[in-house]
Structure 1
Amino acid sequence: MSEQYRNYIDGEWTESETGETFESRNPADRNDLVGVFQQSGETDAERAVEAAAAATETWADTPAPERGAVLRKVAGKLDARKDELTETLVREEGKARPEAAGEVQRAIDIFAYYGAKASDLGGDVKSSSSRDTTLYTVDEPIGVAGLITPWNYPIAIPAWKIAPALATGTTVVFKPASLTPNIARKLVECLDEAGLADGALNLVTGPGSTVGKTLSTHDAVDAVSFTGSAAVGETVGDQAKETNKRVQLEMGGKNPVVVMDSADVDDAVDIAAGGAFGVTGQACTATSRAIVHEDCYDEFVAGVVEAAESITIGPGLDGADMGPQASQSELESTLEYVDVGIDEGATLETGGEEVDAGDGFFVEPTVFSGVEQDMRIAQEEIFGPVLSVIPVSSYGEAVSVANGVPYGLSASIVTQDLSEAHSFVEDSESGVVKINEKTTGLELHVPFGGMKDSSSETYREQGDAGLDFYTISKTVYLNY
């Protein structure tokens, strides 16, 4: 029988008061039981919040360089367990092994980065208009942060929320996605072993309807950071705002790659296919639409179909290029959108079928051509390996189509025209703009976030901006 794992509250591993549990299983092999986890309830979440609130003074009073040293120890412990964590991630979420290894390395790098940044925290000195006066600011931790994270990047996204929070002296209650609790547990193990103060970080597994809601509504929680779907994010945001919490929401995307007539088509195919089919299309920044100039449209479609059909599908532990969808519901949603695209009159060029590659949730990479802007497959987030190819006749039309969705997370243009490249930076309604690169992939030391329905447009994540959400500024006038 698989081991039953516990919550982490106030420095102790503890069972939930509900007495209930849930299972985590390998999406590539449903017979493979990853572990049994606590199906926590409101009382468990409240205990975690209370522990975090009680620890705020101790953790905030810990010198920032000392907090940074703890984070650097975390990076070292993650690095020492990299192979184990990579296999855990493949087994629990389904990524191909190279993708999982890259994500684990990202978590290592994030903790090392914020471990170093902690020593630079403080504030700014300004010139006063008065004599004999020193004018400066002090950045103080906001208090308690509730962090709600998704299953698709189940160690990288928690890392880029937890590390800056702890660096600033803010304490944390962390609710991971129920599809991927084991990699979250192992991350917290590393934090615990690094010498983190009791209560500074608390892990509670369980449903969003109870655990997540408690974090969004509890009076002792000062800030809520959420990454996930737009529908759930809107609910989390509404709940948090009722008690005047600081809110950070990063949500869905319908990300375009624009391919202009000057583009190298082979490069454009590689960029689009990598963004659309990497991580099984299960990324908020995944390429969902290819908006292609009519002069190279047919060549592009042929190329991206060939790229899709060359991908090997199967368990990541077996060395496949593309793993399964993360759950039965995710697979069913993707297959439903394939039916929608066919019904809307788009041409299914390749893919769209469930794949028999073991007892898992496998689907073929899918390409639709002849897609029109108002079709659902061109407007709604699919979160699977489905690419809709839309023909356009000019740069202006391409920009209009690219911006003509409710989302605005990541966008790319493939062009050899410098004027188009610079114009796209200004014209694109997205938080991340790329030139001749795929829409996925992020540097950790620069801000990340979206526009429109992709984001609350409040605070950015990662880089220096990632620290801002967890601090509040105090201005000091010192007349001597």
Structure 2
Amino acid sequence: MTDNILVSYAPATGEEIWRGAHGNVDEAVSRARRAWPAWAALALGTRIEVARRFANEVRTDHEKLADLIAAETGKPLWEARTEVDAVVAKIDISVQAYAERTGKKKFDSALQGSSAVRHKPHGVMAVLGPYNFPAHLPNGHMIPALIAGNVVLFKPSEKTPAVGEALIACWNRSGAAENTVQIIIGGPDEGKALVAHPGVDGVLFTGSAQAGIAINRKLAANPGKLVALEMGGNNPIVVMDTPKMSDAAALVIQSAFTSAGQRCTAARRLIVLDSAYDALMAELLPMARKLIVGDPFAEPQPFMGPVIDNDTADGLSESFLALLTAGGKALLHMRKPDPDRPFLTPGIIDTTNMPDRPDVELFGPLLQVIRVPDLDAGIAEANNTRFGLSAALIGGTPEDYGRFWANIRAGIINWNRPTNGASSSAPFGGIGLSGNHRPAAYYAADYCAYPVASTEMDQPRANIGVGLKE
């Protein structure tokens, strides 16, 4: 970033991908406020039709968008394609969710007239997007917000502005009225200005707990501004004895190392029963060594690409060494094969004997292993965190899973499935430092419109039956 120019680089190659000027928040908010009444006044069906045209534009640009996502984030092309698919799928899911979660209701009560429940949009919504899913995750806020009748100011991550611009270009071709959806290029300063702006009615955020807490603190004295925080996790995956230990290892790999560990739902802590430890490690460690880490466009396709930049890679390497110094035992050393590029090989470290394990989200391919004697100890260890996004149990019986489900504090709890890969057809969110009880995905409709209760009659009808003088 130089002066008022933002520059984006490809993590895998270091090549410049995009550059552009920072946006003007005040001017964008002013345009959005002028655009909102007309957009909100449109029939719901008209807004849905615009969203469907947007989906068609994304389909048309599918490969171009996938290439851009892969280049700017470093994720493999196969994964970037699934992200574009998710952007398209979000429209039908959001239409269904809006009808189900915010549909109109009317109740007749004879002489008392009728009662109704309808929903209204909030107004101007600021969407602050992350770099790990630069199209899918902000789109998951934007589509429900727009269908509900809000207008959107989208600030992409300063690390992925090119994808953000391409997404908005699809909106601009969809027939949406001018300034219904705007992009604001910038870094933390623009983000802070959007959050604090009196012309913004809601803040829909996806990102780190640190940034989410700062937003929450900034708006603590302003209850009139809606805030939906979708933050990270220190997510546990608990493994019990199972006859399918190779499958269990594959689920651990998928949970911890997909997207180079750069998912908020990625497994950060592998909690293993002592009885299953040796058998699991015999499968897990050789499998992790075989993972291809490489350029997103390489053939054969890699399992994972680089992390987002060298600062992130160096921070993760330092974290691995810090865990070793504090008493961790390296099971698989994290390496940085190219000193100039942010590629990292998976790191697995046994931290069972560490007296004080740090309760932080290490956002990358770094997995801590903790041994426990039984499931109850595993549940206690899984809950030993301020976060509460995702958790999974591998192995065990239906009764074991019932106990696990009942006692784990998390918004996503899976059995014999990875911690990540959540469905957009279900609510998505966590508790503690992972969210503020406003789950996204299918339940995004809940925070994009507010309910209004009405009692109504065609003509005034009333009398005062008591307390009047003769």
Which TM-score tier does this pair reach, normalised by the shorter chain? Answer: over 0.9
Displacement of 1:121: 8.0
Over 3 Å counting, the alpha-carbon distance change for 1:116 and 1:417 in structure 2 is: closer
Are the counterparts in 2 of residues 315 and 324 from structure 1 also a CA contact under 8 Å? yes
Matches within 5 A, 1:24-423: 24-30=8-14, 32-40=15-23, 44-115=24-95, 123-127=103-107, 131-208=111-188, 210-244=189-223, 245-262=225-242, 264-318=244-298, 319-356=301-338, 359-372=340-353, 374-376=355-357, 379-423=359-403
Q: Which structure: larger Rg?
A: 2
Displacement of 1:284: 0.6
Alignment length (residue pairs)? 455
Displacement of 1:399: 0.2
Q: Distance in 2 between matches of 1:384 and 1:450?
A: 20
Q: Distance in 1 between matches of 2:139 and 2:34?
A: 23
Tell me the residue number matched to 1:10.
none
- Partner deviation per Cα, 1:165-188 (whole Å, 9 max, x = no partner): 000000111111010011111110
Over 3 Å counting, the alpha-carbon distance change for 1:59 and 1:121 in structure 2 is: farther
Are the counterparts in 2 of residues 261 and 293 from structure 1 also a CA contact under 8 Å? yes
Are the counterparts in 2 of residues 93 and 152 from structure 1 also a CA contact under 8 Å? yes
Are the counterparts in 2 of residues 255 and 410 from structure 1 also a CA contact under 8 Å? yes
DSSP 3-state at the match of 1:34: strand
Tell me the residue number matched to 1:455.
435
- Partner deviation per Cα, 1:208-252 (whole Å, 9 max, x = no partner): 2x2111111111111111111111111111223333311111112
Tell me the residue number matched to 1:9.
none
Are the counterparts in 2 of residues 257 and 291 from structure 1 also a CA contact under 8 Å? yes
Tell me the residue number matched to 2:445.
467
Displacement of 1:24: 0.4
Displacement of 1:132: 4.1
One-letter code aligned to 2:305: G
- When structure 1 is superposed on structure 2, of 261-270 and 169-178 the one drifting more is 261-270
Over 3 Å counting, the alpha-carbon distance change for 1:373 and 1:123 in structure 2 is: farther
DSSP 3-state at the match of 1:202: strand
The answer for unaligned runs of 5 or more in structure 1 is 1-17
Q: For the aligned residues, what is the CA RMSD? A: 1.9
Over 3 Å counting, the alpha-carbon distance change for 1:317 and 1:189 in structure 2 is: same
- Given the two structures, how large is their TM-score scaled by the length of structure 2? 0.93
Displacement of 1:62: 0.9
Over 3 Å counting, the alpha-carbon distance change for 1:347 and 1:400 in structure 2 is: same
Are the counterparts in 2 of residues 367 and 388 from structure 1 also a CA contact under 8 Å? yes
One-letter code aligned to 1:65: G
One-letter code aligned to 1:181: P
- Partner deviation per Cα, 1:269-304 (whole Å, 9 max, x = no partner): 111111111100011100111111101101212322
Q: Distance in 2 between matches of 1:122 and 1:420?
A: 36
Q: Distance in 2 between matches of 1:412 and 1:36?
A: 41
Q: Distance in 1 between matches of 2:320 and 2:216?
A: 31
Q: Distance in 1 between matches of 2:265 and 2:334?
A: 21
Displacement of 1:370: 4.5
Are the counterparts in 2 of residues 149 and 158 from structure 1 also a CA contact under 8 Å? yes
Q: Distance in 2 between matches of 1:228 and 1:117?
A: 24
Q: Distance in 2 between matches of 1:166 and 1:143?
A: 10
Tell me the residue number matched to 2:464.
none
- Given the two structures, how large is their TM-score scaled by the length of structure 1? 0.91
- Partner deviation per Cα, 1:298-335 (whole Å, 9 max, x = no partner): 12123221111001111111122210010112101110
- Partner deviation per Cα, 1:57-78 (whole Å, 9 max, x = no partner): 1000111111001111111111
- Partner deviation per Cα, 1:358-379 (whole Å, 9 max, x = no partner): 95211110111253475435x2
Are the counterparts in 2 of residues 256 and 290 from structure 1 also a CA contact under 8 Å? yes
DSSP 3-state at the match of 1:354: coil
- Partner deviation per Cα, 1:372-427 (whole Å, 9 max, x = no partner): 475435x2211110111111111110000000011100000012411011121111
DSSP 3-state at the match of 1:434: strand
- When structure 1 is superposed on structure 2, of 212-221 and 431-440 the one drifting more is 212-221
One-letter code aligned to 2:450: I
DSSP 3-state at the match of 1:408: coil
Displacement of 1:130: 6.4
Q: Distance in 1 between matches of 2:407 and 2:362?
A: 25
Over 3 Å counting, the alpha-carbon distance change for 1:412 and 1:430 in structure 2 is: same
One-letter code aligned to 1:213: K
